[in-house]
Amino acid sequence: MPKSVLITGCSSGGIGHAAAVQLAAKGYNVFATVRNAAKAGDLAAADNVTVLELDVREQTSVDAALAQAGDIDVLVNNAGFEVWGALEEMTVDDLKDQFETNVYGPFRLVLGVLPGMRKRENGVIVNVSSVAGRVAGPLNGLYAASKWALEALSETLKYEVGHFGIRVHIIEPGGVETAFGANRRLVGAAAGEESLYAEMFSQWEAAGQRLNPDGAAQPDVVAAVIVDAIENGDKFRYPATQDAEFVFNARKAMTDEQFEQAMRQQLGLTW
């Protein structure tokens, strides 16, 4: 019997879509979920793939998709987005909005699949975090907070459910060439509004390009790491791109103060 995998956020061109393609090619029974079926692209006609609608912010939508999919062996919590801007220009509702998709959403899915996995004493949960899941920077405070929260939940879950034969893994991409940047919800300076933070915004945008002079990684690269975590699963955390490895290594080797100084020098930040 092929293993069943449910993946959230499989819109064409993204990491979830690439993971669905790779897992289907390996013979998994893939439930590729999207908020809007029209965005599933070629997955609609792909072998071994069933496209389901699922909005991680809606409990009824999560319940309906899980009921349609049946027993799930592997859950890939991939859906996510970023609210982008300076913290002073954010509201509590912005923070809630960010957590609704990036934290409460994956948690809903985890709660949905765990009882079945526990009874079958078998399962894999893969949560797609980010380099921002361990290292926060200017302007991504809400997003980083959501990914740190996702990492904390994942770490606790690993300790609690390993006992039942369930593995938990975190995937940490750096920059990846998807619609993620275009899908960001921009606030304040980031949205082009008049702002005290406009100068910092422009410095940080330029810094992003300096960090990835050869361009961002392709979604296939991250999808291959997801497949590796599912099939081999010898690590808890999987940095998934070269820039993520670079940042983590630098962060590990330095104190907070050294890291900030090196980052400012490397990226030319005067703010």
Ligand X SMILES: NC(=O)c1ccc[n+]([C@@H]2O[C@H](COP(=O)([O-])OP(=O)(O)OC[C@H]3O[C@@H](n4cnc5c(N)ncnc54)[C@H](OP(=O)(O)O)[C@@H]3O)[C@@H](O)[C@H]2O)c1
Q: Which stretch binds ligand X (CB under 6 A): 64-72, 116-124, 172-180, 250-258?
A: 172-180
- 143 given a catalytic annotation: yes
Residue from 112, 123, 137, 175 in contact with ligand X (CB under 6 A): 175
Please state, in angstroms and rounded to a whole number, the distance separating the CA atoms of residues 94 and 185: 10
Site size for ligand X (CB under 6 A): 32
Token reading at 22:
């790779």
Q: Which of 129, 195 has the CB closer to ligand X?
A: 129
Q: How far is the CB of 222 from ligand X (least distance, A)?
A: 7
Please tell me whether residue 11 binds ligand X under the rule CB under 6 A: yes
Q: State which residue, 78 or 195, has the beta carbon closest to ligand X.
A: 78
If the CB atoms of residues 34 and 195 are measured against ligand X, the closer one turns out to be: 34
CA 248 from chain centre, in angstroms, equals 17
CB distance 128 to 109 below 8 Å: no
* Residue 183 interacts with ligand X (CB under 6 A): yes or no: yes
Q: Can you tell me the distance from the alpha carbon of 176 to that of 72, in angstroms, rounded to the nearest whole number?
A: 27
Closest to 21 measured CA to CA, from 181, 171, 224? 224
Distance CA 73, CA 57 (A): 22
Nearest in space to 62 (alpha carbons), one of 92, 24, 94, 101: 101
16 binds ligand X (CB under 6 A): yes
8 binds ligand X (CB under 6 A): yes
How many CB atoms are located within 10 Å of the residue 100 CB? 15
Binding site for ligand X (CB under 6 A): 8-11, 13-16, 34-36, 39, 54-57, 78-81, 101, 105, 128, 130, 173, 175-176, 178-180, 183, 219
Catalytic residue numbers read: 143
